[in-house]
Amino acid sequence: MQRALVLGALIVIGGLSLAAYQPPQQQGPIVVTVEKVKDNLWVLRGEGGGGNTAVFATANGIVVVDAKNPGWGKPILDKIKELSPKPVTTLINTHTHGDHVSGNVDFPATVDIVVQENTKANMEKMPIFKESGGKGMAKRTFKDKMTIGKGADEIDLYYYGPGHTNGDAIVVFPALRTAHIGDLFAGKNLPLVDAANGGSVLHYPETLNKVHAGIKNVDTIINGHMPTQTTWADLKTFAEFNQDFLTWAQGALKSGKSAEDAAKEWKVPEKYTGYSPNVAALFGGLPGRLQRLQEEMKK
Ligand SMILES: [Zn+2]
């Protein structure tokens, strides 16, 4: 799992509020690396930076998806200047987490910031946007779908229901058959579910299935934290993996096992090659996920 998140998890263990998760302090220098995905689409990464950032060059300007940990906004903007002389016009955040939105505060006030409406409500609770006096906060929201631009510049934003949080946007570049899916699909392992920000263990597989069935003509996925892109077929496998986990977990809890006891029995089914059995400790690890599911099953 992502080192930043695992480090963050250490802060959370020990009974602190799960909502208190904040990205860790930067260890070492900030170095932004660039991977060209298509002629006018890049992914920016960096050790300790947090979530993957997408940079999409349109005819009239640059659209950025996610802005990483505190302190990374300016380095992202500096790197973009090396890629294109065009101005940054738009910033889209896939969800509320600090390792995806904190760099927002360094973006010029002229930049349009777009998020799913629940994500805006979640961001309004974050200290970083109180400290910035609202700079970097979302300006425009959508509920289920929004289209920005047209033709080669079109970007489609979708929301299909709760998963990692209750505001996970999928950002599609249709002309490039590519999507940034944020942390809905962050790695080949059990995903993090942030209950304090409306994430759902119960609805996660259903949301993934809706994404996979509802969005057409995407081949390439930029994932929240993975070092390489995945395919639309990989998303289908990830949805099945989550469905199998949910079926197992519901069975274990219905048989009367405690979340702690059930957690000891979870194994990655053999057919999911390349999937890690490790579960990030953040948000209570595997017992925390099972407790969340238990609460959701009672509703
Ligand atoms: Zn996240």
Model confidence pLDDT, tens digit, residues 181-197: 999 999 999 999 999 99
CB contact at 8 A, 148 and 155: yes
pTM comes to: 0.92
Q: How confident is the model at residue 176 (pLDDT cuts 50, 70, 90)?
A: very high
Give the pLDDT score at 21: 54
Distance 4 CA to ligand 1 centre (A): 11
Q: For residue 60, what pLDDT is reported?
A: 93
Q: How close is the Cα of 151 to the center of ligand 1, in Å?
A: 30
Taking the centre of ligand 1 as the mean of its atom positions, its distance from the CA of residue 97, in whole angstroms, is 5
Distance CA 256, CA 294 (A): 11
At residue 24 the predicted structure's pLDDT band, cuts being 50, 70 and 90, is: low
- Please return the burial class of 99, using the count of CB atoms within 10 Å of its CB with bins 0-12, 13-18 and 19+: buried
Q: What percent of the chain has pLDDT over 90?
A: 90
Please compute the mean of the pLDDT values over residues 138-145 and round it to a whole number.
98
CA–centroid distance, residue 165 to ligand 1 (Å) = 8
Cα(258) to ligand 1 centroid in Å equals 27
Confidence check: pLDDT of 13 > 70: no
Is residue 22 over pLDDT 70?
A: no
CA 210 to chain centre: 17
Contact 169, 157 (CB under 8 A): yes
| Nearest residue to 70 via CA among 101, 95, 92 | 101
Distance CA 171, CA 90 (A): 13
Residue-wise pLDDT for 36-56, tens only, equals 999 999 999 999 999 999 999
Task: Give pLDDT, residue 20.
Answer: 43
- What is the distance of C-alpha 34 from the center of its chain? 19
Q: Choose among 85, 76, 77: nearest CA to 33.
A: 76
Please tell me the distance between residue 99's alpha carbon and the centre of ligand 1 in angstroms. 7
Q: Determine what percent of the chain falls in helix, strand and coil, rounding each to the nearest 5.
A: 40, 20, 45
Buried b (16+ CB within 10 A) or exposed e, 113-127: bbbbbbbbbbbeebe
The pLDDT tens digits for 282-296 are 999 999 999 999 999
**Alpha-carbon 37 to chain mean position:** 19
Q: Assess whether pLDDT exceeds 70 at residue 2.
A: no
Single-letter amino acid code for the residue at 151 = G
Does the structure show a pLDDT above 80 at 139? yes
Axis-axis angle for helices 232-254, 285-298 (nearest 10): 70
Q: Where are the beta strands (DSSP E) in the chain?
A: 33-38, 41-45, 53-57, 62-65, 88-92, 112-116, 140-142, 145-148, 155-158, 170-173, 178-180, 220-222, 230-231
Indicate the average pLDDT of the chain.
Answer: 92
SS3 annotation, 97-161: CHHHHHHHHHCCCCCEEEEEHHHHHHHCCCHHHHHCCCCCCCCEEECCEEEECCHHHCEEEECCC
pLDDT score, position 26? 77
Q: How many CB atoms lie within 10 A of CB 136?
A: 25
> Which tens digit of pLDDT belongs to each residue from 145-167?
999 999 999 999 999 999 999 99
- Name the band, by pLDDT with cuts 50, 70 and 90, for residue 27: confident
Range in 72-81, 227-236, 274-283 with the lowest mean pLDDT: 274-283
Q: Which residues surround ligand 1, an ion (CB under 5 A)?
A: 97, 183
* Cα 181 to averaged position of ligand 1 atoms, centre (Å): 11
Assign 264 a pLDDT band (cuts: 50, 70, 90): very high
